[in-house]
Amino acid sequence: MNIKQSNIANLPTKYGQFKIKAYKDLDSNQEHLAIITHNFEQIDSPYVRIHSECLTGDTLGSLKCDCQNQLQLAMTFIAKEGGLIIYHRQEGRNIGLLNKVNAYALQDKGRNTIEANLELGFKEDERDYSIIEYIFKDLNVKKIKLITNNPKKIEFVQSIGIEITQRVPSITKANKYNEFYLNTKKSKMGHLL
């Protein structure tokens, strides 16, 4: 991997105090973030959230998914308990923003989230987690408490030799716009919901 790293800076947020470090993957041109509490190095098995970028949810507050609620929940919890949020910038399960909007247009016509990806010529999930391994090595992470419902994230973390001492669910309240999406994740993508 060909990665450029930033220096570490302070990041005060409305959720609490963090430090932030950026990683630029010079092959894909994707820029990712590690958002770290100040006591991170002292914690034996810190809480970790690998948050997949969702501009429509995280920033615009879209109700079509649970992303903004999950991010806010994780930042609030980790600010208090100590740990790390990796903001993994692979928008739309790594099909990119433009393609995700096209997938949403197909969902307006009745396709589910998987069918829409397939119809556009993508796999149901195109995410690649190799940068996560790089960031864990850089931050000297050996064992974690992972906040996720996604079995693929659990499998990946275990496959790179990181011990998961606890799996913490990331459950938020459903609404009438994301109910179908959450059901598809549960019944067709194996999410632990």
Ligand X SMILES: Nc1nc2c(ncn2[C@@H]2O[C@H](COP(=O)(O)OP(=O)(O)OP(=O)(O)O)[C@@H](O)[C@H]2O)c(=O)[nH]1
Distances in Å between the Cα of 184 and the Cα atoms of 24, 78, 96, 116 are 32, 28, 20, 12
Q: Which residues pair with 3 in a beta bridge?
A: 25
Distance separating alpha carbons of residues 53 and 159, to the nearest angstrom: 22
Distance separating alpha carbons of residues 58 and 67, to the nearest angstrom: 6
Q: How far is the CB of 35 from ligand X (least distance, A)?
A: 15
32 lines the binding site for ligand X (CB under 6 A)? no
- Joined together, the tokens standing for residue 187 give 């019944």
Whether 125 is catalytic is yes
Distance separating alpha carbons of residues 16 and 149, to the nearest angstrom: 24
Q: Which does 113 bind (CB under 5 to 8 A by kind): Zn ion, ligand X, none?
A: ligand X
Please enumerate, by residue number, every residue annotated as part of a binding site: 49-54, 65, 67, 70, 91-93, 113, 148, 153
92 lines the binding site for Zn ion (CB under 5 A)? no
Burial class (CB in 10 A: 0-12, 13-18, 19+), 3: middle
Q: Which of residues 38-57 bind Zn ion (CB under 5 A)?
A: 54, 57
178 lines the binding site for ligand X (CB under 6 A)? no
CA 3 from chain center: how many Å? 19
Q: How far is the CB of 53 from ligand X (least distance, A)?
A: 5
Please enumerate, by residue number, every residue annotated as part of a binding site for GTP: 49-53, 70, 91-93, 113, 148, 153
- Give contact residues for ligand X (rule: CB under 6 A): 52-54, 65, 67, 70, 91-93, 95, 100, 103, 113, 117, 148-150, 153, 170, 185
- Give contact residues for Zn ion (rule: CB under 5 A): 54, 57, 65, 67
Active site (catalytic) residues = 125, 127
